[in-house]
């Protein structure tokens, strides 16, 4: 079975550029999560969706970040304009039950902003 699929796996971009990260959750999962991981702050929840609707975006750091989920099989996380402090690994994850006892992570998008 296909897991959570993220793209790109690696991206190096210049400060000020727009970055778009993409995610395809596991088919049938109705929860989708975007996490960011850095050495200093660990794994932080940015936003999560249920049935394509954003439920909690309190972790989104600022207006430069936006996330969408136009349908059950696709989500994007956009950073515009990007800054060096946005360099991190961005994980997308999905879950199939309301209790979220198991969250399945994608392999992550490694972002470097120079």
Partner 1 sequence: RKEVEQDPGPFNVPEGATVAFNCTYSNSASQSFFWYRQDCRKEPKLLMSVYSSGNEDGRFTAQLNRASQYISLLIRDSKLSDSATYLCAVKELTGGGNKLTFGTGTQLKVEL
- The tally of CA atoms less than 13 A away on the side-chain side of residue 6 is 24
- Phi (first) and psi of residue 50, to 5 degrees: -130, 125
105 lies in the site for partner 1, by CB under 8 A: yes
25 lies in the site for partner 1, by CB under 8 A: no
Closer residue to partner 1 in complex, CB, 14/90 = 90
48 lies in the site for partner 1, by CB under 8 A: yes
Site string for partner 1, 51-70 (x = CB under 8 A): ----xx--------------
CB of 16 to partner 1, least distance (A): 27
Both tokens of 76, joined, read 């994007």
Nearest to 97 by CA among 38, 58, 50, 54: 50
CB of 34 to partner 1, least distance (A): 12
Strands 74-79 vs 19-24: parallel, antiparallel or unpaired: antiparallel
Peptide linkage before 81 cis (omega within 30 of 0): yes
Binding residues for partner 1, per CB under 8 A?
31, 33, 35, 41-45, 48, 50, 55-56, 91, 95, 98-103, 105-108
């Amino acid at each position: 079975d296909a897991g959570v699929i993220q793209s790109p796996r690696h991206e190096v971009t210049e400060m000020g550029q727009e970055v778009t990260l993409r995610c395809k959750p596991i088919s049938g999962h109705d929860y989708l999560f975007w996490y960011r991981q850095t050495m200093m702050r660990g794994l932080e929840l940015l936003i999560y969706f249920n049935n394509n609707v954003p439920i909690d975006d309190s972790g989104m750091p600022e207006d430069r970040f936006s996330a969408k989920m136009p349908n059950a099989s696709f989500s994007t996380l956009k950073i515009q304009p990007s800054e060096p402090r946005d360099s991190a690994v961005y994980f997308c994850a999905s879950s199939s039950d309301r209790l979220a006892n198991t969250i399945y992570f994608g392999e992550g998008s490694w972002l470097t902003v120079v």
